Chain A
């Protein structure tokens, strides 16, 4: 028996699983999380062959790859083709971050006219070729797991890598931010200070950093599994914690490509317009945005 296991070890030492990291429209932040694993990086490289990671290395091994990490959203037709190629070469494909999982903040173009955006930014809009939308990877190919966050959490990233390499399901909690926030023993900013907080509808994973810094969660980890943004928004508006405009904008940022967030956001947008037509803006703007916290003495 002992002999067998040492043989297995030898085999393992010879053939290391191959990891590839791919980038689409993004800020590089999620893949940087891997390089930010300063304590683990050299150890990871011992057991995994970093076979294709352009930001870090010139060394490129041909596919297939055991695990592909994909950052960024699809915004050009060239990228729409490229992701298919990546999928074909990958045994497992995991998206990392809001861009890859939901289209990212650049998905705001999906509700505007891409052409108008293009004209606003570029003097020669004809030189630019891009799709009218920014879409998540799962709209284009099969995805084996989606790791949320803008940016992702590096401990969760290590868990995902190790889970896939051991053929098990990643152990990532899908409950809301509020759960972690309570476990961390934070003072609830919504209860104690009246600061609007998206914690109840947001996927846990960041370590409840905003409440820890006296700030309301702004939803950069996207929706938790059974998220109900309408109910939270209605409550915040009725309790004068936030204006419909604030709710609508908050839901329309890093996870604007998410259907639940976006549909709720449109409702609050309509509410705002209705209120404006009735001349109620004053009362509704009452507890708007972060500006309002500035009147509160910091603790």
Chain B
């Protein structure tokens, strides 16, 4: 097995290629610190890049197929097993879809608790990415553990922050990975207010660490790189959106969740086990923290906005994908703030769940997973069994955009050393925190060059 940092540059005439075509191959086995196996193919002619393909090879697990025939109450737990890093997002989109099919109206208290457990996941998942997967890239470390030797305080604070996110999920959901307390109609059991209140102190600490994190990542060095994305996220008039909103974009998209499939389409690209999602009218788009922040910055709590102002971060900076680490950090700060607000107002007044009658129907669910919009659609029979299932995860929505980013990055760093180029390409993929549960990690860059 070759090491991940191995670079091979093969120069020579590729057999069977047009005469004069030169093939150069940069091979990066095991693209580390992402959850995915991909390969990248780049063909260039002179200074022109003709084609970039970012392919994903994930052993298929066929969740949509195996959900058919299961009870509507089971989708929440089964779909959480798609991703151990954002199980809450899967649970939330699934129960929401069922609740919409059955016409269930949740109480405000249940909605707030769902937002709370989601905040726990944002804190945990974003912190994992910022500290353990992404920051080492900027600082030139192989991983967080080696980074801890030079920055012990920073890394241990990161771990502390991550733990507080996990603790929150555990208190509300029973455990941090694949929590067990969420059900269609609400929760199995309401958390005890006095137990939750014990999180106030840790969350206040978390808030301080998050603010420090924002300042820390703001000082990293960012490449001067921008793209004109179509940002797609929830928009909510009153809050920074997590569980609800209209789906909007900066190019005029403005829809309700149930018409999602009228506007988006999944394409199956050859030799890839993932599906690309595109906007039917315009093609690629971007979901995730950058898009959320772009549309909803004004609805962040004042101290989060102030923290962004302190580091001179502006909404237009969302066009630089490398700065996603800043937005993730700001969202961690927001999630701490929001959790404090919810816990302070919480009193466990209501019922843990809302009763419902089973009936046939179609339901849509959509939430803001840490990595962006996660859409579920189910068709339910009158016996409560799932007849059809459709799940569109954020990474498949971003896949085409990752590809275009890579295209631009290769163009931008065309003449730099292979080392630099490889590093930038890896980092470009990691900007998205791609969550492609898969077997191996493999990034392969092939360059065909027309110049002799």
Contacts and interface: CB of A to CB of B under 8 A. Distances in A.
21 contacts: A23-B438, A24-B59, A26-B437, A36-B176, A54-B33, A56-B33, A56-B145, A75-B61, A76-B59, A105-B66, A106-B63, A112-B66, A117-B65, A123-B266, A128-B60, A130-B59, A210-B174, A214-B189, A249-B70, A290-B73, A298-B190
B35 interface: yes
B428 interface: no
B205 interface: no
Interface string A182-205: 000000000000000000000000
A50 to B, nearest CB: 7
Contact of B65 (A116, A218, A253, A293): A116
Contact of A215 (B63, B74, B143, B188): B188
Interface stretch (B19-27, B236-244, B332-340, B353-361): B353-361
A130 B159 CA distance: 38
B54 to A, nearest CB: 15
Given A106-B62, A120-B65, A29 B159 contact: no
A28 B155 contact: no
A168 B441 CA distance: 33
Among B142, B188, B358, the one with the most A-chain Cβ atoms within 10 Å of its Cβ is B188
Given A116-B65, A150-B178, 20 more contacts: A24-B59, A26-B437, A30-B84, A33-B177, A42-B148, A54-B4, A55-B35, A57-B33, A59-B143, A105-B81, A109-B66, A117-B65, A120-B62, A120-B65, A121-B65, A127-B268, A128-B273, A209-B180, A213-B189, A293-B188
B146 A218 contact: no
Nearest to A220: B178
Nearest to A298: B352
Contacts, number: 236
A57 B148 contact: no
Contacts of A150: 81, 178
Contacts of B144: 56
A235 to B, nearest CB: 21
B386 to A, nearest CB: 11
A233 interface: no
Contact of B175 (A72, A79, A209): A209
Q: Which of A82, A108, A109, A206 has the most CB of B within 10 A?
A: A108
A124 B242 CA distance: 33
B183 interface: yes
B143 A54 contact: no
Interface of B: 1, 3-5, 30, 32-35, 59-66, 68, 70-71, 73-74, 77-78, 81-85, 87, 128, 132-133, 136, 142-146, 148, 155-156, 159-160, 162-163, 166, 174-178, 180-181, 183-185, 187-190, 266-273, 275, 351-356, 358, 384, 435, 437-441
A38 B166 contact: yes
Given A29-B81, A36-B166, A57-B145, A79 B356 contact: no
A279 interface: no
B214 to A, nearest CB: 20
Contacts of B70: 249
Nearest to B269: A127
5 closest cross-chain pairs (CB), A and B: A29-B84, A57-B143, A59-B142, A117-B65, A58-B32
Contacts of B85: 28-29, 32
B439 A23 contact: yes
Contact of A109 (B62, B71, B83, B270): B62
Interface of A: 23-30, 32-33, 35-36, 38-39, 41-42, 45, 50, 54-60, 62, 72, 75-76, 78-79, 82, 85, 104-106, 108-109, 112, 114, 116-118, 120-124, 127-128, 130, 134, 150-151, 206-207, 209-210, 212-215, 218, 220, 246, 249, 253-254, 288-291, 293-295, 297-299
Nearest to A85: B1
B251 to A, nearest CB: 26
A24 B439 contact: yes
Contacts of B66: 105-106, 108-109, 112, 117
Given A27-B84, A105-B78, A210-B180, A124 B3 contact: no
A289 B78 CA distance: 15
Contacts of A123: 266-268, 275
A29 B177 contact: yes
Given A151-B177, A212-B174, A60 B65 contact: no
Contacts of B356: 291, 294
Contacts of B166: 36, 38
B160 A289 contact: no
A45 B143 CA distance: 12
A29 B87 contact: yes
A290 B189 CA distance: 13
B262 to A, nearest CB: 18
A60 B73 contact: no
Nearest to A76: B59
B181 A213 contact: yes
Nearest to A210: B180
Given A79-B59, A127-B271, A104 B440 contact: no
A104 B82 CA distance: 11
A80 B319 CA distance: 42
A125 to B, nearest CB: 9
Contacts of B181: 213, 215
Contacts of B78: 105, 253
Contacts of B87: 29
Nearest to B124: A36
Contacts of B81: 27, 29, 104-105, 150, 254
Contact of A294 (B159, B163, B185, B440): B185
Contacts of A220: 178
A216 to B, nearest CB: 10
B174 A127 contact: no
Given A29-B84, A57-B32, A209-B175, A298 B62 contact: no
Contact of A79 (B3, B84, B439): B439
A72 B62 contact: no
Given A82-B439, A122-B275, A249-B70, A50 B62 contact: no
Given A27-B437, A38-B166, A32 B177 contact: yes
A9 to B, nearest CB: 21
